[in-house]
Amino acid sequence: MGSSIRGFVIVILLVSMIPLGQASLTDNPNGGTLFFSCVSDDECLLTPVATGEETITGSVQANPVSTETVALEFDMFPEQTELALLPDTINQLVIDLRVQGDVLGLYRPEMDVRVIIGSSVTNLESDTTTTPGNNVEPYQWTDEPLNLEQGRLLWPDEPVRIRVTFTLDRPSTWEFHLREASYIDLDISWSDNVAAKDIDEPTSALQPKATSLDDVHRGALVGIEDDCWSFNVQDHEILRILIQWEDVPLELQQSNGVHRLRTSNGLQVATPEVITKSEDDAILTTYRWRALDAGDYVFCLNGQTDRYQPYVWSGLYAVESSGPTDASEFTGKVVYEPNYFDFSTGIEADLEPHSGIILLPSIIALIFFGMDIRRKSTSNMTRYGVFLPICFVLLMSGVFSPLWAMADEVQETEEWTFEQLLEERIQQLWLVSSPATPQATMIEHVGATWGIRDGERLQLWLEVQEAYQREDGKWQLIVADFDEIRLDRLIFNQISESRQGTIVDGLDEHIVQFSIIATRALLLDLMILEALLVVDEEPTSSIHHIDTLMVDTSSYGTATSPTWATRPVDIDDSAWKRLRQSIFPDRITVSLCDCALDLLDLQVSYSTQFNENDSPEFTALRQANGIIPYATIVTITCILLGAVIIQREAKRRNAAKKLAENFVGKTSIWTSFITA
């Protein structure tokens, strides 16, 4: 009874130490750190402040035949009250368990840890030390990946629990050290208090809240609910409703398509013109109607299951003129602009594929050399010491090497061209941006670099148009047609093909989400690819290959729109993160207009932090090569050397002939030869 009262008092004191309305995991005095605490041997918690017992202990009488398992469970207190975005990894988990097996000293038994955070369940195992000693370090895990297959969201009131299990195989006494000795540290990058944002709401779609059109309305769309307001509309030329959606994780965003405006009698009004603008992941949606009839109307925001997004909206009247929803503010086309960085020294090289121009001269030279080398008058030293090696090198450099190089330039069946990579990526983004796609699947595909996930290979065949030498002596490759990539055409063509050439009900949620996600993802994918197209030596062929395995890394960008979450395995993780940080744009603005002509606009403020030292070594990028480097130069050299040797041999023969004629006479020597 006394232990229960003491535990209750400690819990009350703990509650009094935590500010009112505070969520344990996402907003506590120690950041994302939770301490293992026990108010008694059988009542343990995860708390935002270190409290409770210093240690808890126990004893077992186990043996190798009959082992005993000890299980301890720690539930977070107070319970989670905020909606939070879970990190990719556990920063640090430290468990200070000390087990005295016998008089010989301490040892480390096998330990299993199950970390349960919402729907995420991560199992961790430890190494063991069965040999007793005088000192044993705490169990520790650093940068361990969380299992986020069921999603990366922690909703209010969902469990946060750690279950620690260790198995003893000998008579032992164990001590679990608490307070600041054992803890878990998580880096929570985003969280929000749903209850505090879910204000100023109507009760239901059938009972809208009376308001004025030009009032500022604040609230949050939580789940599948409908937030509706009724207001009076006066005579006007233009009626606009502007909705500012707060920045939330991608999988939480509510529909940015057309929400309903109807008359008080329940009749739906005509579909408005809509501009959806995404800037730094915040979304502004503008609806515009022309000359609606004066009267009472109801406007509803329609939520979706397991979605959440705060908003601010207001309406206004305007006259017919150019304005924020006028198509005149759009550039008319969205083209990727390469060379957003320029480290050129002014030295350029135009590249062509390997040709077989040296094949025919090499074969002719080899035939000629072969005929000459068979003459009996050729000296053995010249024949075997000089002529034969020259013919061998000429065969390799002038015949085999160009044939090998031309074969290496052929696209393999497993390789994509650059155009095919774009098509595959745009189709992937269309599929995963569907509202029916599971959240974890969407984040995994959108965030992966070029959509190539962990364990998959990126095999790419590239035709390089030219290269320029950089200030650091390396060469930047410029892919052919890189400056002719029309992102708007890729996106609208995909929409048209997927909808069989028709768009139903204007820009619906799928189209809006796809257009914004795809524009941003393609831009960032193209930027990272361009930054990787760097080689150490001046290229000699226009054909290059990329063949690399992609592996997981921590995602970049904002927590709400992750990107570049996979990297080539041959690029060091620290070098990859440095590259991402240096090239990520300062601002990306994507605007989509459902006007008389659908329009897409992209504005980018490129980072000024990127320099040539940020380019990592990328060994998976290689050019099509022959067997021998600089084969053309080697071939010409061999032909010239062979010609010089043949000429010298001819001179030697002529000199020998003249010498013989001088001794015996020209007529007699040939008469003797014929007679013989």
DSSP 393-425: HHHIIIIIHHHHHHHHTSPPTTPEEHHHHHHHH
The rounded mean pLDDT for the chain is 82
Kindly indicate the confidence band of residue 448, based on its pLDDT and cuts at 50, 70 and 90.
Answer: very high
Q: How far apart are the first and last CA of the chain?
A: 133
The Cα 554–Cα 564 span in angstroms is: 8
pLDDT of residue 654: 67
Confidence tier at 70 by pLDDT (50, 70, 90): very high
Q: Domain total for the chain?
A: 4
Query: Given this model, what pLDDT does residue 500 score?
Result: 73
pLDDT digits (tens, 9 = 90+) for 94-134: 999 999 876 667 888 889 999 999 988 999 988 777 666 66
Condensed to tens digits (0 to 9), the pLDDT of residues 44-67 reads 999 988 888 899 999 988 888 888
Given a cut of 50, whether residue 1 has pLDDT beyond it is no
DSSP 8-class letter at 268: B
Q: Counting Cβ atoms within 10 Å, is residue 80 exposed (0-12), middle (13-18) or buried (19+)?
A: buried
Give the C-alpha distances (Å, rounded to integers) separating 185 from 36, 55, 64, 360, 564: 11, 20, 35, 69, 24
Sign of the Cα pseudo-torsion (342, 343, 346, 349, in order): negative
Residues 233 and 86 in one domain: no
Query: Quick one: 220 and 245 in the same domain?
Result: yes
Residue 422, both tokens: 């774009």
Asked whether 342 and 274 are in contact (CB, 8 A), the reply is no
pLDDT of residue 204: 73
Q: State both tokens at 433.
A: 């941006």
Same domain? For 73 and 167 the reply is yes
Q: Which residue has the higher pLDDT, 560 or 235?
A: 235
More confident residue, 650 or 590: 590
Least confident of 27-31, 148-152, 345-349, 480-484: 27-31
Which amino acid is located at 629 in the chain? P
417 and 538 both lie in a single domain: yes
Helical H runs in 533-618?
573-583
| 125-163 pLDDT per residue, tens | 887 776 666 677 899 999 898 998 888 889 998 999 999
In a domain, residue 350? The reply is: no
What is the domain-level CATH number for residue 283? 2.60.120.380
Instruction: Tell me, yes or no, whether 241 and 140 share the same domain.
Output: no
pLDDT on residue 657: 64
The pLDDT score that the predictor gives to residue 20 is 38
Find the CATH number of the domain harbouring 34: 2.60.120
Q: Return the pLDDT at 324.
A: 46
Residue range 644-670, pLDDT digits in tens: 766 676 676 666 666 666 666 555 555
Distances (CA, A) of 415 to 411, 457, 548, 625: 6, 10, 11, 17
Task: Count other C-beta atoms under 10 Å from residue 73's C-beta.
Answer: 14
Same domain, 296 and 178: no
- Looking at per-residue confidence, does 144 or 389 come out higher? 144
Q: Which structure tokens are listed for 260?
A: 């309903």
3-class DSSP state of 566:
strand
Residues 600 and 470 in one domain: yes
Residues 665 and 619 in one domain: no
In this structure, the answer to whether residues 16 and 130 fall within a common structural domain is yes
Mean pLDDT of 472-476: 90
480 within 8 A of 463, measured Cβ to Cβ: yes
In this prediction, residues 294-313 reach a mean pLDDT of 91
Q: Check whether residue 562 and residue 519 sit in a common domain.
A: yes
Side chain identity, residue 359: L
Answer whether residue 185 is part of any domain.
yes
Chain centre distance of CA 618: 16
Using alpha carbons, select from 382, 402, 210 the residue that is nearest to residue 298: 210
DSSP 328: G
pLDDT classification of 381: cutoffs 50, 70, 90? low
| Average pLDDT value for residue range 260-284 | 86
Residue ending a domain, among 162, 192, 222, is 192
Is 536 found in the same domain as 419?
yes
What single-letter amino acid sits at 562? P
Beta-carbon count within 10 A of 61 CB: 10
457-470 and 416-417 beta bridge pairing: parallel
For position 407, what pLDDT does the model report?
67
Q: Which domain covers residue 299, as residue numbers?
A: 195-329
348 part of a folded domain = no
Q: Is 247 a domain residue?
A: yes
Give pLDDT tens digits for 390-428. 777 766 766 666 766 666 677 888 999 999 999 999 999
630: tokens are 């600089």
Q: In this structure, are residues 558 and 281 in contact, taking their beta carbons and an 8 Å threshold? A: yes
Residues 395 and 425 in one domain: no
Q: How far is CA 389 from the centre of its chain?
A: 52
Residue 343 located in a structural domain:
no
Residue 123's Cβ-count burial label (10 Å; 0-12, 13-18, 19+) is exposed
Contact 650, 424 (CB under 8 A): no
